[in-house]
């Protein structure tokens, strides 16, 4: 759990953080988003004391961070930055193993841990002996995630970690990351400037502007337009549509059908497709419903109405 109480920071005349109050619950992923200079990175870096705050208290797992030695604190937190910062002279294995080695884990424990992580992020074990420059951007990013998770910290601090990757790869990594975070129940504070990334990953989104948190809601909760005008402008008028990317077939009410029929089948979709893709395909088909085949070869029918029902549920906070 991360708690920030009345945290403030100035640089000369500029207020970087203005009496911030924020609590990130265990296992929760809170995404900090906002325009450049809003203070999101500053906020993140004050938690692992890369930046020292002027006022306020920060508690990690109930303990004030000022009571720790800086290095000890940092070793307990997973930290991942944009561009990853992998050490070019070390192999993938050595890169990931750094913090566990600092914590003096024994070799077999480190080995097991790394194997698990590689598996988790979908990287082949043969990559362990490679050097960073032999990896693609996406692969390097995944190694960065492994590295952040290496010492099994309960808390992860991620500072725009997927920013330097191309959009297609980014989506894959985002999904992989969400899966890992939810499975391992890691507490994550995630900084980004990409709204869609926030929509996908966050349990709650904190929108920041000029050092203040203007809004702290679940992604679904942001649909209600009763907010700060800046927030409305920031999330954009098409927010509900963008929100659709967060939900998949599993969140929709579907009709199971006999596997032999082929009417209105859209073969490019399966159960992992987002609600947005499904809506697009229904529009393209020109009819009121389409059929989707799941990977287990069973087929379901999705209608317009099912989509509208989903949105209603989101608006009513029945679905997160």
Residues of this chain that interact with other proteins (CB under 8 A) are 45, 48, 50, 70-77, 79, 81-89, 98-99, 102, 131-134, 147, 157
Q: Establish how many alpha carbons lie within 13 A of residue 290's alpha carbon, considering only the half-sphere containing its beta carbon.
A: 22
**Nearest alpha carbon to residue 292 among 318, 273, 312:** 273
CB 116 to other proteins: min, Å: 19
Q: CB 287: neighbour CB atoms within 10 A? A: 12
Output 85 or 137, the one with its CB closest to other proteins: 85
Q: What is the phi/psi pair of residue 285, to 5°? A: -70, -20
Q: Taking Cα atoms as reference points, which of 318, 307, 316 lies closest to residue 276?
A: 307
- Smallest distance, Å, CB 86 to other proteins? 8
Considering beta carbons, is residue 128 or 252 the nearer one to other proteins?
128
Residue 34 CB, nearest approach to other proteins (Å): 21
Q: How far apart are CA 235 and CA 134, in angstroms?
A: 38
**SS3 at position 149:** helix
Among 43, 127, 40, 44, smallest CA distance to 86 is for 127
Element (H, E) at 20: strand 14-24
Other Cβ atoms less than 10 A from the Cβ of 10: the count is 14
**Smallest separation, CB 56 to other proteins (Å):** 21
CB of residue 99 vs other proteins: minimum separation in angstroms?
Answer: 6
Contact 45, 51 (CB under 8 A): yes
| Nearest approach, Cβ of residue 89 and other proteins (Å) | 5
Q: How far is the CB of 232 from other proteins (least distance, A)?
A: 34
Q: Which is nearer to other proteins, 143 or 252 (CB)?
A: 143
Closer of 39 and 132 to other proteins (Cβ): 132
Reported in sequence order, the residue ranges of 170-257 that DSSP labels E, i.e. its strands, are: 187-192, 204-209, 212-217, 255-257
Rounded to whole angstroms, the maximal C-alpha distance in the chain is: 70
Cβ closest to other proteins, residue 84 vs residue 290? 84
Shortest approach of other proteins to residue 45 CB, angstroms?
A: 8
Structure-block tokens of residue 102: 């600092």
H helix or E strand, kind and range, residue 167: helix 167-184
**Nearest residue (CB) to other proteins, 45 versus 246:** 45
């Amino acid at each position: 759990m991360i708690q920030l109480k009345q945290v403030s920071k100035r640089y000369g005349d500029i207020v970087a953080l203005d009496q911030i109050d924020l609590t990130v619950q265990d296992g929760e992923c809170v995404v900090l988003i906002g325009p450049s200079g809003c203070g999101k990175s500053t906020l993140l870096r004050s938690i692992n004391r890369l930046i020292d705050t002027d006022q306020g208290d920060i508690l990690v797992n109930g303990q004030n961070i000022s009571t720790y030695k800086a290095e000890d604190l940092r070793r307990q937190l997973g930290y991942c930055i944009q561009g990853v910062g992998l050490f070019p002279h070390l192999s993938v294995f050595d890169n990931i193993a750094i913090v566990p080695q600092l914590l003096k884990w024994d070799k077999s424990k480190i080995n097991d841990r790394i194997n698990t992580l590689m598996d988790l992020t979908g990287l082949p074990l043969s990559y362990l002996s490679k050097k960073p420059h032999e990896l693609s951007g996406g692969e390097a990013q995944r190694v960065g995630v492994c590295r952040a998770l290496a010492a099994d910290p309960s808390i992860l601090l991620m500072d725009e970690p997927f920013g330097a990757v191309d959009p297609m790869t980014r989506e894959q990594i985002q999904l992989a990351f969400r899966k890992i975070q939810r499975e391992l129940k890691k507490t994550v504070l995630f900084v980004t400037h990409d709204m869609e990334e926030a929509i996908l990953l966050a349990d709650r989104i904190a929108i920041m502007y000029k050092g203040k948190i203007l809004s702290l809601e679940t992604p679904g909760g942001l649909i209600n337009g009763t907010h700060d005008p800046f927030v409305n402008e920031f999330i954009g008028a098409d927010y509900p549509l963008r929100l659709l990317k967060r939900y998949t077939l599993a969140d929709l009410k579907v009709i199971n059908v006999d596997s032999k029929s082929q009417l209105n089948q859209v073969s490019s979709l399966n159960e992992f497709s987002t609600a947005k893709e499904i809506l697009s395909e229904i529009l393209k088909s020109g009819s009121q419903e389409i059929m989707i085949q799941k990977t287990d070869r069973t087929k379901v029918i999705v209608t317009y109405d099912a989509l509208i029902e989903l949105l209603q549920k989101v608006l009513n906070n029945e679905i997160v």
